[in-house]
Structure 1
Amino acid sequence: MSTFVEKLRPESYDEFIEKFSISVPENFNFAYDVVDKRAAEDPKSPAMIHMDDDGKVSRYDFEFFKTASDRFANVLTQKGIGRGDKVMLILYRRVEFWVSMLALHKIGAVAIPSPNLLTAKDIAERVTFAEVRGVVAENSVVKNVEGAREKCTGLEVLIQVGGEDLRPDWADYDTLFAGADDHFEKPEDAPGGEDTLVVFFSSGTTGPPKMVEHVHNYPLGHINTALYWHNLEPGDIHLTLADTGWAKAVWGKFYGQWMAGAVIFVYDFRGAFKPAKLLEVLSECRVTTFCAPPTVYRFLIQEDLSGYDLSALRYCTTAGELLNESVFHTWKEATGLEIHEGYGQTETSLQVATYSFMEPRPGSIGKPVPGWDIRIMDPQDQPCPPGEEGEICINIRNSRPMGLFNGYYREPDKTADVMRDGYYRTGDKAYVDEDGYFWFLGRVDDLIKSSGYRIGPFEVESALITHPAIVETAVTGVPDPVRGQAVKATVVLAPGYAPSDALTRELQDHVKKTTAPYKYPRIIEYVEELPKTISGKIKRAEIRANDMKKMEK
């Protein structure tokens, strides 16, 4: 394939569907076929701008990533890591993450990106289940790996990144790197194509995390993510706000962006996210395209946006959870920019998107990505007509879309449960309007059935979030002897507001005026924070479980 993927310039969604296709090179390997090729053709071509937590900015070109990944591939092979071996990466947004990923791709080992917030128990469970042989870990999380080691008999290769004090059996990344040969010979039987590339752990919003297996062709699925949803052009400076422990990092700051010819901007902040600081980074570093979860936009619009020079910013996207209409309009009024929504899962690349050549409809995730035959199905596996809610299902009877996972690693029963009768079943609810736009409603398990009505939590959350007292909210159903389920809102209040019966009535009345009255929350609980996964997603299942425990007492 060429260094850059040639971008179509469709004038409409229908034209895009008609003309889009992905050419799949034989035995495709992103590290060899994109990064090394780019380094050979234009070695000084900019690849990354990296800002650390202290504000230090470093710039890296493709020659650096080619040489650095060759060096680290040599380090890993000398340590005994080979094709098919599993290596867990527990790193922040360090440049070493990208070097490690590319090195693993080159030798055919399987990367397992992991969040830095994992406990020793989490690490032990994941290492044991995945049969992990090696760990490349941030110095600050080494103690948690050590806490897991007595339960991980197969863990043999331990490499620490950063810090000065090394524990026994650990090797220092910089020392190994400095002593390695800077050329790694591509093997004749180089890994690629349908070989396993990476395993991600799912967010675990509805239960224990599952191991999602993707192959070497998976990065090609993100051509659509970067070139068309992010709308990238060569030379763009793109920032996706994502932790390297999750699939969203490779969605937004790796594969597709480099195939588009864009420069990846990495903001390696540590600790709590600070909206004002992020706005400074966007302004001072002249970021041109930006992607972040809706929660981030909600915090950004609470700042005085007029105090920042966002003139370089030309395109904005969001995914992860749904964008509230009020946030869309407030951001557009302040910046002149629309926010284009997208939808996908750890198990997939982008499935549904709002593109630049489509009119955004606030609250809609857009239309299906080319190559993804998406149906909204009822419980009897019949297609739902426009306006009727159902499960998002992918037709895989005749072909599998580029970017769809192979299955859940070592869990064939769970794989069979979601891939059956010719469909991949996402577990997510949505409906399609008369114009073909998809409207996401939430997880199937999150749907509330009250007095014969089917209520999606997002509808109520969207209404609540427009009240100035609400910073965050999660809507769930609780058992009710008359209605079956009653709508409950768990809310985090903005500064200056305190829980009271009067505020509860005010919020309930606000929802009745904003959406259909029957959807209003009959119960409102005030909390300091919502339970979330370590990827930041709200754990509605945990809220429901806690409510059940309270009712049993």
Structure 2
Amino acid sequence: MGWTVMPDFEGHDEAREQFTWELPESYNPAVDFLQKHDDPERVALEQAYPDGRREQYTFRELDALSDRFATGLAGLGVEAGDRVGVVVPQKPQNPVTHLANWKLGAVSVPLTVLFGTDALQYRLDDAGTNVAIIDPAVRDDIDAVRDACPALEHVVEIETDAPAGDVHAFEDVLAAPENTDIEPYESTPDTDTAILYTSGSTGPPKGVRHSHALWLGRAAAAYNFFDQGLGPDATVWTPADWAWGAALGGTLFATWHHGGTVVGYPASGFDPDEAFGLLSEFGVTRSFVPATALRMLMDVENPTATYDLDVETIAVGGESLTPEIVDWVAETFDSVTINEFYGQTELNLVVANNSNWFDTRPGSMGKLLPGYDLAILDPEAADRGVADPVPAGDLGEIALRPHDRSVFFDEYWNMPEKTAAKEVEGWFVTGDLARQDDDGYVWFKSRKDDVIITSGYRVGPTEVESAILEHPDVVQAGVIGVPDDTRGEIIKAYVETAADAPARETLRSEIESVVRDHLAEYEYPREIEFADALPQTTSGKIRRTELQEWHADGESS
């Protein structure tokens, strides 16, 4: 039994035994998401805006809009294989662009509007992006980096009639309906679909090249961590940015694959009362909510008395689900389940809870989903290229093997050595440490490397350190993640300054601003400590393990 119509397996063991991928020979996600449904007039997108505006888009209307935009992109010279950046929040132009790309055979590069100049420049340039579709919120940053991105021929700005300079208006690129004649690109599950960027602990961010099978893998996973509740009757919302894989593939496109309705809302930040209002207004039945946002929802007193809620399942990913959240959901709502899931940008969503199959164990990520194998390997042996499983219950590195290779990533873009290092004797290693108990539950412990997980975002400390070093009075910087009750972890920086640096409170504020300007809002250090000198290896690298010891001992300037 395969992915085409996801069966409602009664139990986890049955699903593991009977599920197979059975990917089709021909597959285009734009056709899958928009054209296969029995009722194309059903609402696919409920679009809300902070100013009170509301819009609806049916599957047929999104199909026509993406046809028109594909025609317009073709007029700009976009061809199969070209990379198109999408720097748009939760607005209709975001999925319309992705769908138009795939109708042309082009490759999407999803990017968040939270990125600053350095983050945008690196990714747009590294991917060789030919065209970028942007929100007005990032126009100044795009203007600042455009000359440093030689492949970037065209910029298209949404929500503007007459953009200044060498920029096209989105509405101008949309072709007139009578001029639209798009035959979707003849693609397969192995046709390139997107380059998604992930931060590592060392070196620059990695571009993860995926094929169209990515969306089928995400759709299968979402069907399960939403308790087999996706379908035409489902209404789904997430506060997570559609630039991220779990929101884009595991929520937006997974819902459309199964024929449900998505709610879009381009919030500038997370407001818990606003979130409850959206859940109530649109009758949301399934929601992916990062754990940080759930902890903020817990501050709303007696929400069920204020809001009329239809939520049945809350899915959580990106950071560990703590027992107090599970208890709050159980105490606050009637018949609402909360399911944690786990995956990687590279390796899909592969472990999850499913309350229809087994009891949730607070603190556990759940069990392995159908279609994959999992092993817990000795991390030191894995570093040597040897797949050596540890005894059941012992701590080790999560390693995964798909039953169909297509649902995992193809490569790290222009990084063949890192691509090769990801696979060890047929197993794909994750860099995440965990235990698996005798009942199959997986218990996450920590990252093997120095990646910081803050509010669900994965942040590479090297990138933050580089941004801090842009300040002329900073001599050296070391960045670590430290525990935080709300965000899971926050970013902490240890900084060595020049002798004539300004007062430290002034410098703290300036460093925060520098990082916000160069990277993303969530990547600035919320704690900054100053030191006369930072611990280094003999080769001059910062010893972050020792900085963790400093933090634990309360050492500061």
TM-score by length of 1: 0.79
Partner residue, 1:479 = none
Please point out which of 189, 195, 199 is paired with 2:191: 195
Q: CA deviation at 1:250?
A: 1.9
SS of the residue corresponding to residue 253 of structure 1 reads: helix
Distance 2:326 2:482 in 1: 22
Q: CA deviation at 1:212?
A: 0.7
Please point out which of 127, 148, 157 is paired with 2:154: 157
CA distance change for structure 1 residues 214 and 352 in 2, over 3 Å: closer, same or farther?
A: same
Confirm or deny that 1:410 pairs with 2:414.
yes
Task: Verify the 8 A CA contact 1:213 1:407 in the aligned structure 2.
Answer: yes
Which runs of no fewer than 5 residues in structure 1 stay unpaired? 448-456, 462-473, 477-486, 495-526
For 1:382, the aligned partner's letter is D
Question: Superposition pairs for residues 219-258 of structure 1, below 5 Å?
Answer: 219-231=215-227, 232-258=230-256
CA distance change for structure 1 residues 420 and 540 in 2, over 3 Å: closer, same or farther?
A: farther
Question: Superposition pairs for residues 236-315 of structure 1, below 5 Å?
Answer: 236-269=234-267, 271-304=268-301, 305-315=303-313
Distance 2:406 2:13 in 1: 20
Task: Verify the 8 A CA contact 1:205 1:539 in the aligned structure 2.
Answer: no
Confirm or deny that 1:56 pairs with 2:53.
yes
Please point out which of 95, 100, 103 is paired with 1:98: 95
Q: CA deviation at 1:430?
A: 0.6
How many pairs are equivalent? 480
SS of the residue corresponding to residue 445 of structure 1 reads: coil
Question: Superposition pairs for residues 398-547 of structure 1, below 5 Å?
Answer: 399-445=403-449, 490-491=483-484, 534=520, 545=544
For 2:317, the aligned partner's letter is A
Q: CA deviation at 1:207?
A: 5.2
Structure with higher RCO (Cα < 8 A, 6+ apart): 2
Cα-to-partner distance string for 1:190-217 (whole Å, 9 max, x where unaligned)? 2333121101111456653210111012
- Please identify, of 152-161 and 72-81, the stretch whose mean Cα deviation from structure 2 is larger: 152-161
Partner residue, 2:25 = 26
User: Aligned Cα RMSD in Å?
Assistant: 3.5
Distance 2:521 2:201 in 1: 10
Task: Verify the 8 A CA contact 2:397 2:431 in the aligned structure 1.
Answer: yes
Q: CA deviation at 1:221?
A: 0.6
Confirm or deny that 1:37 pairs with 2:43.
no
Task: Verify the 8 A CA contact 1:205 1:541 in the aligned structure 2.
Answer: no
Please point out which of 112, 118, 122 is paired with 2:109: 112
- Please identify, of 62-71 and 297-306, the stretch whose mean Cα deviation from structure 2 is larger: 297-306
CA distance change for structure 1 residues 310 and 437 in 2, over 3 Å: closer, same or farther?
A: farther
Q: CA deviation at 1:81?
A: 0.6
For 1:361, the aligned partner's letter is R
Q: Which runs of 4+ in 1 moved over 6 A?
A: 537-544, 549-553
Distance 1:534 1:191 in 2: 35
Q: CA deviation at 1:540?
A: 12
Q: CA deviation at 1:349?
A: 1.9
Partner residue, 1:395 = 401
Distance 2:182 2:266 in 1: 32
Distance 1:94 1:177 in 2: 16
Task: Verify the 8 A CA contact 2:70 2:182 in the aligned structure 1.
Answer: no
Confirm or deny that 1:147 pairs with 2:151.
no
Partner residue, 1:516 = none
Cα-to-partner distance string for 1:313-355 (whole Å, 9 max, x where unaligned)? 1111111100110111012101132311110011122110111
Confirm or deny that 1:370 pairs with 2:370.
yes
Q: CA deviation at 1:117?
A: 1.9
SS of the residue corresponding to residue 238 of structure 1 reads: strand
Q: CA deviation at 1:552?
A: 12
Distance 2:521 2:250 in 1: 15
For 2:257, the aligned partner's letter is M
- Please identify, of 80-89 and 413-422, the stretch whose mean Cα deviation from structure 2 is larger: 413-422
CA distance change for structure 1 residues 186 and 367 in 2, over 3 Å: closer, same or farther?
A: same
Partner residue, 1:454 = none
Task: Verify the 8 A CA contact 1:279 1:308 in the aligned structure 2.
Answer: no
For 1:388, the aligned partner's letter is D
Cα-to-partner distance string for 1:278-329 (whole Å, 9 max, x where unaligned)? 1111122211111111111111111112433344111111111001101110
Partner residue, 1:361 = 361
Which runs of no fewer than 5 residues in structure 2 stay unpaired? 382-386, 462-479, 488-508, 530-542
- Please identify, of 62-71 and 539-548, the stretch whose mean Cα deviation from structure 2 is larger: 539-548
Q: CA deviation at 1:493?
A: 8.8
Partner residue, 1:450 = none
For 1:236, the aligned partner's letter is A
- Please identify, of 342-351 and 157-166, the stretch whose mean Cα deviation from structure 2 is larger: 157-166
Task: Verify the 8 A CA contact 1:238 1:290 in the aligned structure 2.
Answer: yes
- Please identify, of 367-376 and 13-22, the stretch whose mean Cα deviation from structure 2 is larger: 13-22
SS of the residue corresponding to residue 184 of structure 1 reads: coil
Task: Verify the 8 A CA contact 1:29 1:191 in the aligned structure 2.
Answer: yes
